[in-house]
Amino acid sequence: AQTVTQSQPEMSVQEAETVTLSCTYDTSESDYYLFWYKQPPSRQMILVIRQEAYKQQNATENRFSVNFQKAAKSFSLKISDSQLGDAAMYFCAYRTPIYNFNKFYFGSGTKLNVKP
Amino acid sequence: NAGVTQTPKFQVLKTGQSMTLQCAQDMNHNSMYWYRQDPGMGLRLIYYSASEGTTDKGEVPNGYNVSRLNKREFSLRLESAAPSQTSVYFCAISGRKVGNTEAFFGQGTRLTVV
């Protein structure tokens, strides 16, 4: 089974500043998908951003961007201009190729605190 | 458009009791999943169903059974609940087409076994 590692259990950032959350994964596949999900205290799982492994360009969604390093199997999330509403648990997720059972594997999560 | 509807939202069981968690989707996706979330461990796959009529074990299947009733519904059953099954349970779905690959989640069920 693939493994997804988030080595930062908890991080803090000052409002309006930038923070980067780390994620590494292990796979022998070449065609897969990566995601970052946000989980606020409401428990809802919200998709933040996705990256297809076959795309070299890093994905961006407004204040959220990723640094995808395929050879290093690294997928970090950068949050710019942090806002109080960004405070949540963040999970990195790996999805197997479409032709291979569509299984998702999640990291253990990083709790992000945003200080006013 | 509800997406993924999961019931109940909260449940307290006594050790040895049984219960079924229900999940229904209206997005016409083929794949459905049951995860459990425990502090410091992320989401771990219990069972999944790649398509209607098929189910397979995930990482932590012991103590659980599933039924893919039809394309819309995927239930998780605890036959004899144990305190170790205290957790938050999520149902999720996903598609199989490029550009439609993320998982969509239900709101979760907080289960406490005493």
A18-27, A55-64, A99-108: range with lowest mean pLDDT? A99-108
pLDDT tops 60 at residue B85: yes
Contact A23, A6 (CB under 8 A): yes
pLDDT tops 80 at residue A66: yes
A109–chain B Cβ distance below 8 A for any pair = yes
Q: Nearest Cα to B105, choosing from B39, B33, B37? A: B33
Q: pLDDT tens-digit profile of B42-64?
A: 899 999 998 888 999 999 999 99
Q: What's the average model confidence in pLDDT over A70-85?
A: 97
Contact B85, B19 (CB under 8 A): no
| Terminal-residue alpha carbon distance, chain A | 40
Average pLDDT, chain B: 93
Q: What's the average model confidence in pLDDT over B10-29?
A: 96
pLDDT band at A35 (very low <50, low <70, confident <90, very high): very high
CA B49 to mean position of chain CA atoms: 10
Between positions 24 and 53 of A, the ones with CB within 8 A of B are 33, 35, 43-45, 47, 50, 52
pLDDT band at A100 (very low <50, low <70, confident <90, very high): low
A7–chain B Cβ distance below 8 A for any pair = no
pLDDT tops 60 at residue A28: yes
Task: Put residue B46 in one of left, alpha, beta given phi > 0 → left and psi -120 to 50 → alpha.
Answer: alpha
Record: contact A104-B33, CB cut-off 8 A? yes
Number of alpha carbons in the 13 Å side-chain half-sphere of residue B2 = 12
Number of alpha carbons in the 13 Å side-chain half-sphere of residue B68 = 19
- In a mutational test of the A interface, the residue from B43, B87, B105 whose CB has the highest number of chain A CBs within 10 Å is B43
A42-46, A94-98, B32-36, B84-88: range with lowest mean pLDDT? A94-98
A109 contacts on B by Cβ (under 8 Å): 40, 42
Please give the Cα distance from B29 to A4 (Å, whole number).
25
Neighbours of A59 (CB within 10 A): 19
Q: Nearest Cα to B40, choosing from B88, B72, B91? A: B88
Record: contact B96-A98, CB cut-off 8 A? yes
Query: Is the Cα dihedral B24, B29, B26, A42 positive or negative?
Result: positive
The pLDDT assigned to B101 comes to 83
The pLDDT assigned to A1 comes to 64
Record: contact A93-B103, CB cut-off 8 A? yes
Number of A to B CB contacts under 8 A, please give it: 65
> Which element (helix H / strand E) includes A24?
strand A24-26
